[in-house]
Structure 1
Amino acid sequence: MKFKLIKNLKRGDWAEEKLKIVKSSLPNEIVSDIGSGWGCFKNKVESLGLVWQPFDYVQKLPEATLWDLNNPAPETAKKPGFIVLLEVYEHLANPELGIKNIASHIADGGYLAMSCPNPFYAKSKFTMIYKNQLYAFQPKHIEEHHVNVPLPHIIEFYLKKHGFELLEKGMIDSHRSPSFKFSFNYLKDCTKYILEKLVGGDTVLSKGETQVYFAKKKQHINPESIS
């Protein structure tokens, strides 16, 4: 399966679109929002008549349940028919364990909408050349706990190993030319844009700052049986 280029959508809108598409085939009405933050996905879920179940690593909202993905889901958690996992994967020090615990949390036949930074984005490749560091994974990003570089083939491996069938993978288009406004900064931005295009190439992988995955949880399997 190749990456598709997704235009004119933010990651939250993309996840909402996927939820609307599969709403009628969900195994239940519960939507787990893992990394719920300040609850921006709440209205999207409840407007569809579904139940929002928020989780976070730190307490930002009183209704969110604390969940460290190094551990199984809290005992009070209900198995969801849909999981939203936006910009969480790159924060996981043990990403496979996180995916394993998420796979155990979701109901069979449930869906996962996941996003994370794209290390092959043109800006990231350019930064690697002149700073010898990936764009979103420099030392300063440790404060945000960006500790896991999300390589696409490894993400796919973990999803497959823990019982997910990949339905779609994409790159949200971010590499747009600067808006015209004659100034020194505009000239600088144009020069940088051209250099990034030259370094990154004109591929789907280079155009998306954010990579997204849409997957479905299959019937329970033993991960150790998959080579």
Structure 2
Amino acid sequence: MKNYKDLNRGQWAELKLNEVSNKLPNKIVSDIGSGYGWFRPTVEKFNLQWQPFDYISKIEESTIWDLNNPAPENKKRPGFVVFMEVLEHLSNPELGIKNISNHIEKGGYMVLTTPNPLSAQSKFSLFFKNNLYAFQPKHLIEHHVYVPLPHVVKFHLENNGFEILEVATIGRLIAPKFTFGFNYIKGLVHYFFLQLLVVFIPESKGHTQTFFVVKK
């Protein structure tokens, strides 16, 4: 599995958009979970039309869309969908993917990211706390209610008309900054333990998992 160790989610999504920008069925980009519009400049850099959606409107441009329901009426079918850090918040993830599949134009592309439940940090947390790193009880306040295991996410996508073009991870382990004291030693031991996990279990690389797909 490829690891984009030097990119963040936005940079990876821009990389994928750049790869297919001249093959899109239209110029509409649906940004699902658009937040405060941080991806808008990237969309407009490619001379595409940004169409934002969110569960709770944070900016006046966005349209409310509960993914338990079909896309709002009178919205354009996109040629590209941005769906990042949303799937893990859905109580019914397959229904959400189905509604996105019905929204996207045939031949359209989607970038999807979630926390990586198989990351080294997640395995460490499971071993010592009996909970995955981003899916502990404290994360329920953020409505992290779906653990997006990669083979299950792939099943949901393929079951709803998407072809998987790439599955990858983003991010790398960062060594603790040197300070005097016990906490630095503790952090260093933790860092080397995670590095061992990455060596022996390569899919543990990266704190974020990504899926790049096309609607068949």
Instruction: Give 1:183 deviation, angstroms.
Output: 4.2
User: Are 2:114 and 1:116 equivalent residues in the alignment?
Assistant: yes
User: Are 2:208 and 1:210 equivalent residues in the alignment?
Assistant: yes
- The residue that corresponds to 1:221 in the other structure is none
- Gaps in structure 2 of 5+ consecutive residues: none
How many residues end up aligned between the 2 structures?
216
Q: 2:124 aligns with which of 106, 126, 129?
A: 126
- The residue that corresponds to 1:192 in the other structure is 190
Backbone CA RMSD of aligned residues: 1.3
- The residue that corresponds to 1:81 in the other structure is 79
Instruction: Give 1:119 deviation, angstroms.
Output: 0.8
Give the aligned residue type for 2:152. I
CA distance in 1 between partners of 2:3 and 2:23 (Å): 26
Give the aligned residue type for 1:83. V
Q: 1:177 aligns with which of 148, 151, 175?
A: 175
Are the counterparts in 1 of residues 6 and 172 from structure 2 also a CA contact under 8 Å?
no
Give the aligned residue type for 1:24. N
- The residue that corresponds to 1:154 in the other structure is 152
User: Are 2:28 and 1:42 equivalent residues in the alignment?
Assistant: no
User: Structure 1 length normalisation: TM-score?
Assistant: 0.91
Are the counterparts in 1 of residues 197 and 204 from structure 2 also a CA contact under 8 Å?
no
Give the aligned residue type for 1:95. P
Question: Identity, % of aligned pairs?
Answer: 56
User: Structure 2 length normalisation: TM-score?
Assistant: 0.95
Are the counterparts in 2 of residues 122 and 201 from structure 1 also a CA contact under 8 Å?
no
Are the counterparts in 2 of residues 79 and 107 from structure 1 also a CA contact under 8 Å?
yes
CA distance in 2 between partners of 1:180 and 1:18 (Å): 36
SS of aligned partner of 2:22: helix
Deviates more, 1:192-201 or 1:102-111: 192-201
- Gaps in structure 1 of 5+ consecutive residues: 219-227
